[in-house]
Structure 1
Amino acid sequence: MTLDIPDYVKLIIERLERKGYEAYLVGGSVRDMLLGKTPTDYDIATSASPDEIESVFYDFKTIDIGKKFGTIIVSQEKRDVEVTTFRREGKYLDGRRPEWVSFSSDVKDDLSRRDFTINAIAYNKTKGILDPFDGREDLKRRIIKTVGNPEERFNEDYLRILRAARFASQLEFTIDESTFQAGKQYSSHIKKVSMERIFNEVYKILLSHIPSYGIRILEKMGALKVILPEIIPAIDFKQRNPHHEMDVYDHILCVLDSVPSVIEIRLAALFHDIGKPHTLTIDEERIGHFYGHDELGADISKEVLKRFKAPNELIEEVYNLVKEHMNHHTKFKEKGLKRLIRRLGEKEVFNLIELQIADIKCSNKEATMDHIIERRNKIKEILEKDEAYDIKQIAINGKDLMELGFEQGPIIGEILEYLLEKVMEKPELNDKEILKRIVLEKYTPSLVK
């Protein structure tokens, strides 16, 4: 069987072979090609030592990213490629790092240390496919299965439990029963893994085609309560409201699957109703209400994402989307929509619309979203007309005001906010001379100096 390898990857393998070394494409790139997918990156394993790799590619830019672990990046114009010496590993003492790493001349040693059979396949044009752990068979069976004893594999690195759920979610595979049971047995140890590594796996699950599939695997394994205990109260929590047909958890997962595969929207979907179990009130007609769940959910999202050490910009975007998601009940006039655009920004205001459409769709079969579609069209119209919704868009600035005689300070910001309100209401006023007249009608420069 021949796999189609890009020229810049083939060049590395062939040069190593010409120098007398073995070299193979390994890991996810082989798996993806066998599944008929185009890999996003390519990793090469070789019998050459790190020093020998650098010597073979003396005329290339090489980057030492972990020489003691055998990894050298060979940099090319098209893309960098990681080249790693075949390795053997000792026992893992901390659930992440091996006691020792030594280099090997046998590719099978290297494949035996990998996590799952579908990632333990090697290929080159000379030898074809090397598959000592029947990874191709597991690809056909659509199964995630560890290389060797699953308890040993998970004890080596507890992150592999999340990786099992992630690969199952991305590939829409099932997890082998013994692998699943071992993941369930050791799921409590995931707390020993760094938050950055955990967030990276959760991130990939959320961006998969059906993210709820991966989340439900984490739930059944017991991993969800370790990494996201805040969502556990939502499971089986009845909403007691005629506008909601699902419990809170099922509704959250429905919304998660229904929004675009954009990380801030997927995270907002995951958190948008997470505050409901804590805000339930029952009225005299025995109907449930969740006043303030949007604000509480926004606060929870911020706490969780800070714990995950997510980027500040992402935290703020998710916070704002969760906080604003209930405003689809608000009847905004044009000025109100402009304020909304200002609060969220042009990109995020449309992300909010996507979240709200999914929220409505997953609430009740009879629910209509015509008002949200109409709102989206109106926002597009505002932006296409380039109507001002922010201070920087009005035709006058602080310098202009100081030329009128106003001193630098809080008064400048006050006047600009006043003018923005006028312009948002009547776009035709957004002219420098008109705005100057409006300013001087309300404010007297000599009185504010």
Structure 2
Amino acid sequence: MVFNIPIYVEIIIDRLEEKGFDAYIVGGSVRDILIGRDPSDFDVTTDALPEEIEEIFKDFTTLEVGKKFGTVVVVQDEGIVEVTTFRADGEYIDGRRPEKVYFSKNILDDLSRRDFTINAMAYNKKIGVIDYFNGKEDLEKKTIRAVGNPHERMREDYLRIMRAIRFAAQLEFSIDDSTFESCKLYSEHIATISIERIREEFFKILLSKTPSYGIRLMKDIGVLDIILPEMIKAIGFDQHNPHHDKDVFEHILCVLDKTSPNLHLRLAALFHDIGKPYTLTIDEKGVGHFYGHDKLGAKMAKEILQRWKAPNELVEKVRLLIYKHMTQHANLKEKGLKKLLSIFGEDEIFTLLELQKADRSCSNEEADIKDLLEREGKIKDIIENKEVYEKNQLAINGYDVIELGYKQGKIIGEILDYLLEKVLEKPELNDKKKLIEIIKEKFKLN
């Protein structure tokens, strides 16, 4: 295996070694190189103490972000590297962080405190891979296994339960039996972890190649009902509808897997039918209907994401996609498509269509998305032909209306809204002279 380590990382290791210290890349970067992936970042571990690290790199920009825990961040134009002293952790008293850390001169101490065997390897050019816990073997077996006693690892940091699920989902690995049982045993303690940290892991699970795998693991381990209790009612929920051959939960997971790894799209897929178990009505023929589930789902998604302290922009994007996902069944003419385009914009309209195509495809084996593909083509034509679908594309603007003698205020918006409606119906009206005639005819000056 060839370890192509970036020069900016090699500089750090070389300088530490020149000063008589041991230094290695460690953790996720070693794992990723061994499985043929490009690491997203590099961490270095060393027997140099934090003060010694700062002295060695005094001609660099350094940040004391985690100096208390032995970490000094070394900044270079090409990238930043966290350089951390070998350490052993003291007792974990809150299920999240050690009460104390003890600096060490032994790499084994440092690797022993890490979460999973695949993350407990180190490497440098002189020695090669250091692998005390058979991480390479677990990579080959595609297994997530805790370092040492899995009960101890989970009790130390309950977030490791979510991390086990996340790594399994991202790498498409299985969780070994003893580690799985420990995750399950301590799953209720996930409730003690900050929602921001849980959200970070959950979003990474959603962005994995097959997110349904991670969601199923969350369900089986027992954390789904803690993090997302609103989803539990969907599990096994019969839709009583001939157009659906899956229960609500299985349908949701199918839609998730059929969407591209775009966070707000994946979240919309996850929540798009979350309102169904709360809106079921059955008609005289025994057929189930879910009137208003899109509106309720949008409301529920907003509340859940706000509970998770997600950014407002993300919350609104997800809410709108869910709120409008049932427009797939509307027989929209060109005017209706333009209104939808006005609501979503030229990028997000195709995100909506992707959600709708996935939703339709996952309803049953005979599902047909031909009409949605035709709709997609019509929307592309509207955009390419630069047809008007929002007010700022009109051949007249608010200043023009004011120059006609209308006072600033609510009336200006009303006039432009009216003009847009007319142009949506008849695109040929988008001419300044024609629009002025329409204004004078409809809106009389006092």
Name the % identity. Answer: 60
Alignment of 1:341-356 (within 5 A): 341-356=341-356
Residue 416 of structure 1 corresponds to 416
1:151-190 matches, within 5 Å, as 151-190=151-190
Q: d(CA) in 2 for partners of 1:45 and 1:429?
A: 69
Task: Give the Cα separation in 2 of the matches to 1:163 and 1:354.
Answer: 29
**Quick one: distance in 1 between partners of 2:128 and 2:8?**
19
Matches within 5 A, 1:213-232: 213-232=213-232
> In the aligned structure 2, how far is the partner of 1:133 from the partner of 1:392?
63
Matches within 5 A, 1:290-305: 290-305=290-305
Give the AA of the match of 2:400.
D
TM score, norm. by length of structure 2: 0.98
Q: Does 1:132 align with 2:127?
A: no
Query: Does the 8 Å CA contact 1:387/1:424 hold for their aligned counterparts?
Result: no
* DSSP-derived class of the 1:80 partner: strand
Residues paired across the two proteins, number: 446
| Pairwise CA distance, 1:427 | 2.4
User: Residue by residue, what CA displacement relative to the aligned partner does 1:148-179 show, whole Å, maximum 9, x if unpaired?
Assistant: 11111111111110110010011111101011
SS of the counterpart of 2:186?
helix
Distance 1:385 1:52 in 2: 64
Aligned 8 A contact 1:86 1:106 in 2: yes
Q: d(CA) in 2 for partners of 1:22 and 1:395? A: 70
Deviations 1:183-232 (A, max 9, x none): 10111110111111111111000000000001100100011111011000
CA distance in structure 2 between the partners assigned to 1:253 and 1:277 by the alignment: 15
1:22 equivalenced with 2:22 (yes/no): yes
More displaced 10-residue stretch of structure 1: 250-259 or 74-83: 74-83
Structure 1 residue identity aligned to 2:173 = F
Q: Normalization by structure 1: what TM-score?
A: 0.97
Divergent runs of 4+, >6 A = none
CA shift, 1:426, in A, is 2.3
Residue 444 of structure 1 deviates from its aligned partner by 2.5
Question: What SS class does the counterpart of residue 44 from structure 1 fall into?
Answer: strand
Counterpart Cα distance in 2 of 1:345 and 1:101: 51
CA contact (8 A) 1:44 1:84 kept: yes
Match of 1:211 in 2: 211
1:53-132 alignment runs, 5 A limit: 53-132=53-132
1:157 counterpart letter in structure 2: D
> Aligned runs of 1:183-332 on 2, under 5 Å?
183-332=183-332
**Deviations 1:124-166, CA, capped at 9 Å, x for gaps:** 0011111111111111111101111111111111111011001
Task: Within 5 Å, give how 1:380-391 maps onto structure 2.
Answer: 380-391=380-391
Question: How many angstroms apart in 2 are the aligned matches of 1:39 and 1:209?
Answer: 17
Instruction: Measure the CA separation in 2 of the matches of 1:49 and 1:62.
Output: 14
Residue aligned with 1:249, SS = helix
Q: What residue identity is the alignment partner of 2:106?
A: D
Mapped to 1, the partners of 2:342 and 2:84 lie a distance apart of: 49
1:12-32 per-position Cα deviation (integer Å, ceiling 9, x unaligned): 111111111111100101001
Structure 1 Cα separation of the partners of residues 64 and 400 of structure 2: 55
Mapped to 1, the partners of 2:433 and 2:62 lie a distance apart of 61
1:142 alignment counterpart: 142
Structure 2 counterpart of 1:255, one-letter code:
V
Q: Which residue of 1 aligns with 2:337?
A: 337
Structure 2: how far apart are the matches of 1:174 and 1:310?
29
| CA positional deviation for 1:2 | 4.3
Q: Residue 51 in 1 paired to residue 51 in 2? A: yes
- Please state whether the residue corresponding to 1:39 is helix, strand or coil: coil
Question: What is the distance in 2 between the residues matched to 1:82 and 1:429?
Answer: 62
Separation in 2 of the partners of 1:431 and 1:125? 71
Q: Distance in 1 between matches of 2:29 and 2:197?
A: 21
**2:10 is paired with a residue of what secondary structure?**
helix
- What is aligned with 1:395? 395
Structure 2 gaps, min length 5: none
The DSSP-based 3-state class of the residue aligned with 2:79 is coil
Letter in 2 for 1:41: D
CA distance in 1, matches of 2:378, 2:244: 28
The Cα of 1:371 is off from its aligned counterpart by: 0.6
Q: Which residue of 1 aligns with 2:379?
A: 379
1:123 Cα shift?
Answer: 0.3
Relative to structure 2, which stretch is displaced further, 141-150 or 417-426? 417-426
| Separation (CA, whole Å) in 2 of partners of 1:394 and 1:108 | 69
More off after superposition, 42-51 vs 253-262: 42-51
Using a 3 Å threshold, how does the CA distance of structure 1 residues 366 and 156 change in structure 2: closer, same or farther?
Answer: same
Shift of 1:433: 3.0
Is the CA contact (8 Å cut-off) linking 1:2 and 1:125 kept in structure 2? no
| Secondary structure of the corresponding residue to residue 368 of structure 1 | coil
CA drift at 1:52: 1.6
Residues 2, 128 of structure 1: 8 Å contact kept: no
Q: Secondary structure at the match of 1:345?
A: helix
CA RMSD of aligned residues (A): 1.1
343-352 or 353-362: bigger deviation: 343-352
